[in-house]
Amino acid sequence: MCSPNTITLVSTLTNRRIDVHIDSSDESKVVKACAFCKGKGTVPDPITGREKPCPADCDGGYNVFFGVVKPCGVCGGTGKKGKTLLNDPRKCPSCGGKGYKAF
């Protein structure tokens, strides 16, 4: 059973459950869906087509930020910047694929 300050996030693709505790004394904590994988936690492999872990190192498709959160100025909040030789999107070098940055 979750406490009133706990949010449970469940990835629809992997059915992975993550409990995020929100400390009411720290209102600067923000949970955002990963921009690179759109909250799934996985992305399709360009060669096999199978799902592989998100290269943005998000925890089940979600990222926790502290402070004021703004969309990344380099990728515009998409988490992607450029493409590989296989036309696979690369994660943004500025935000690491998360799409947002904390200030």
- 90 burial (CB, 10 Å; 0-12 / 13-18 / 19+) is middle
For residue 3, the model assigns a pLDDT of 46
For residue 9, the model assigns a pLDDT of 58
Instruction: Give per-residue pLDDT as tens, 42-73.
Output: 999 888 889 999 988 888 899 989 888 999 99
Q: Whole-angstrom Cα distance, residue 46 to residue 91?
A: 15
Does residue 1 lie within any of the structural domains?
Answer: no
Q: Contact, 2 vs 31, CB < 8 A?
A: no
Does residue 64 lie within any of the structural domains?
Answer: yes
For residue 25, the model assigns a pLDDT of 53
Tell me the two tokens of residue 57. Answer: 């190192």
Task: Enumerate the β-bridge partners of residue 43.
Answer: 52
Does residue 17 lie within any of the structural domains?
Answer: yes
- Domain of 73 in residue numbering reads as 6-102
For residue 41, the model assigns a pLDDT of 92
Total tally of structural domains belonging to the chain:
1
For residue 34, the model assigns a pLDDT of 92
Please state, rounded to an integer, the average pLDDT across all residues of the chain: 80
Q: Contact, 82 vs 90, CB < 8 A?
A: yes
